[in-house]
């Protein structure tokens, strides 16, 4: 049901709302009246302070990997950039994640291992979980070691993000989203979960302030 108001007015301490006519023939429009005292009593967000939405200007998050390669070509070895270019690349990633909680890396391709390698410190490796080195969330994935649901598994699950009590929790958790098509360049997004959590908690706190 999608009923919309046709008129809203305030008379003293009373709020009146007249609703659009029902589809039922010969039925008069419904009118609702609310006393200000009743509205104040049941308001769920009285004196709420609006939380500014996260900026939707993607350009603030973007890094053009191809542009960096052209400016700082590889010197050979495993790095896809020169040592200076690699340092600038990591610095740009850190800057965007610190400021905005996310980064969009364009023109890096869809080689997940290469992207992971970009971000790993020297001689460090990804900590595997129950699903393997990488947990592929696609429904048709064939890369996971296990494809069961943790809520229903009888496996001995050692490490998972739902287990904050483990002795050595992971220090960083990154969600990697990739998109590609025949008409656009591929790009990758890294989302810093702590930034998302902070935004959600701030929003909830503002909504429940009375």
pLDDT exceeds 50 at position 210: no
β-pair type (31-35, 62-64): unpaired
Q: What is the pLDDT at residue 69?
A: 94
pLDDT exceeds 60 at position 191: no
User: Which of 12-26, 54-68, 111-125, 172-186 shows the highest mean pLDDT?
Assistant: 54-68
Q: What is the pLDDT at residue 9?
A: 92
| pTM of the entire predicted model | 0.50
pLDDT-derived band at 184 (thresholds 50, 70, 90) equals very low
pLDDT-derived band at 115 (thresholds 50, 70, 90) equals confident
pLDDT exceeds 80 at position 165: no
pLDDT exceeds 70 at position 100: yes
Packing angle of the helix pair 83-100, 112-119 (nearest 10 deg): 90
Determine which helix (DSSP H) or strand (DSSP E) holds 68, and give its type and residue range.
Answer: helix 65-71
């Amino acid at each position: 049901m999608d009923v919309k108001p046709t008129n809203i007015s305030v008379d003293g301490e009373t709020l009146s709302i007249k609703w659009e006519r029902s589809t039922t023939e010969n039925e008069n429009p419904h009118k609702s009246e609310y006393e200000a005292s009743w509205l104040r009593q049941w308001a769920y967000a009285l004196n709420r302070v609006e939380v500014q939405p996260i900026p939707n200007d993607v350009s603030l998050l973007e890094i053009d990997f191809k542009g960096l390669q052209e400016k700082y070509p590889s010197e050979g070895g495993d790095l896809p950039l020169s040592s200076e270019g690699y340092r600038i690349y990591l610095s740009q990633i850190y800057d965007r994640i610190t400021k905005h909680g996310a980064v969009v890396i364009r023109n890096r391709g869809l080689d997940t291992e290469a992207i992971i390698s970009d971000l790993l410190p020297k001689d460090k490796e990804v900590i595997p979980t129950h699903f393997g080195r990488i947990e592929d969330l696609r429904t048709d994935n064939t890369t996971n070691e296990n494809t069961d649901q943790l809520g229903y598994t009888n496996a001995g699950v050692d490490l998972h993000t739902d287990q904050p009590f483990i002795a050595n929790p992971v220090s960083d958790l990154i969600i990697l989203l990739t998109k590609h098509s025949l008409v656009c360049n591929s790009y990758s997004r890294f989302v810093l979960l702590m930034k998302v959590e902070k935004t959600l908690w701030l929003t909830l706190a503002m909504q429940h302030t009375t």
